[in-house]
Structure 1
Amino acid sequence: MLDSTVWWVLTGAAVAVELATGTFYLLMLAIGLAAGALAAHTGGSVPAQLVAAAIVGGGAVTGLYLQRRGRPAAQDAASNRDVNLDVGETVQVEAWQPDGTAVVRYRGANWTVVAAPGSGHDRGAHRVREVVGSRLVVEKI
């Protein structure tokens, strides 16, 4: 069997395992294996093929790691407007109870609201900052 055939079989296996597991890093290693196959096609020796696969695959993994490390951390789903459409909506608080909660009418139902940390217990319009269970965490507008 040709060296390039072995490299291509390994590349296909890495892609198949990546599709089954969803690890994007394995796809980067598959790119390195493809580089080894291309080195075999050009007539490179086995050590040259291994070096090409290691440099390209390792570089791709390192590049992906550095790119992902530079991104900000994912926002919590409870306060993420893309996940929870209640975040950012406005509710009207008429009165606060002694335990620090209030009941508001929102989307046709009664909801319990609590003030966000650092937000006072004032009456009036409030914006939903996050949803925790069945409670709305609000801040004064």
Structure 2
Amino acid sequence: MWIWFGLAIAALIGELASGTFYLLLVALGLAAGGVAAWMDVGLQWQLIVCAAVGLVGLGILRATRVLKKREVDDRRNADVHLDIGQTVNVESWSDARQARVWYRGAHWQAELAADQSPEPGLYQISAIRGTRLILSRKV
């Protein structure tokens, strides 16, 4: 019985070190196995209780979307691309709403954002798609 609780404490310590919810579920399952052992049920039932509690906990976390990563569009995230928000000067646009701009000491392919009108002037980088800058009119 005490081995279950010892393993649960070890999983909790691992949880504190890693910061994931998975080891917390393992610790809860191990503690449930310890409770089953304390109630003098057979080893196979202790293992079933341990697994069931862990799987039910995982199902609850998945249903509440706690484990789902926050999806961030890295093409528009200034924390990922430091160029987002920077200003460039566009001298002219092509008919395909594209231009070549001088930025950071080199020529870059630029594309006009969907809701913008193609006029020369100052634009700000609103996204990066591959090596192409997506530009919006500077406010």
TM band (smaller chain): 0.5 to 0.7
Shift of 1:64: 2.2
Q: Distance in 2 between matches of 1:72 and 1:129?
A: 23
> For residue 81 of structure 1, what is the aligned residue in structure 2?
78
Q: Distance in 2 between matches of 1:36 and 1:70?
A: 22
Question: Structure 2-normalised TM-score?
Answer: 0.67
Determine which of 114, 118, 123 is the counterpart of 2:115: 118
Q: Given the alignment of the two structures, is residue 5 of structure 1 paired with residue 3 of structure 2, yes or no?
A: yes
Letter in 1 for 2:134: V
Would you say the 8 A contact 2:4–2:30 is kept in 1? no
Q: Given the alignment of the two structures, is residue 30 of structure 1 paired with residue 39 of structure 2, yes or no?
A: no
Shift of 1:50: 5.9
Higher helix proportion, which one? 1
Letter in 1 for 2:86: E
Q: Distance in 2 between matches of 1:92 and 1:70?
A: 43
Shift of 1:131: 1.0
> For residue 19 of structure 1, what is the aligned residue in structure 2?
none
> For residue 109 of structure 1, what is the aligned residue in structure 2?
106
**Cα deviation code 1:77-129 (max 9, x no counterpart):** 22222211112222221211233211111112111111011221122221212
The 3 A distance-change label for structure 1 pair 62 and 11 is farther
Alignment: residue pair count: 132
The 3 A distance-change label for structure 1 pair 113 and 71 is same
Q: Distance in 1 between matches of 2:87 and 2:39?
A: 66
Shift of 1:63: 3.6
Q: Distance in 2 between matches of 1:72 and 1:123?
A: 40
The 3 A distance-change label for structure 1 pair 125 and 72 is farther
- TM alignment of 1:43-54, pairs within 5 A: 43-46=38-41, 49=46, 53=50
The 3 A distance-change label for structure 1 pair 133 and 51 is closer
Q: Which blocks of at least 5 consecutive residues in structure 1 are unaligned?
A: 17-23
Aligned alpha-carbon RMSD (Å): 3.8
Would you say the 8 A contact 2:36–2:49 is kept in 1? no
Aligned-residue sequence identity (percent) comes to 29
**Cα deviation code 1:23-55 (max 9, x no counterpart):** x675354123322243156x2232785686366
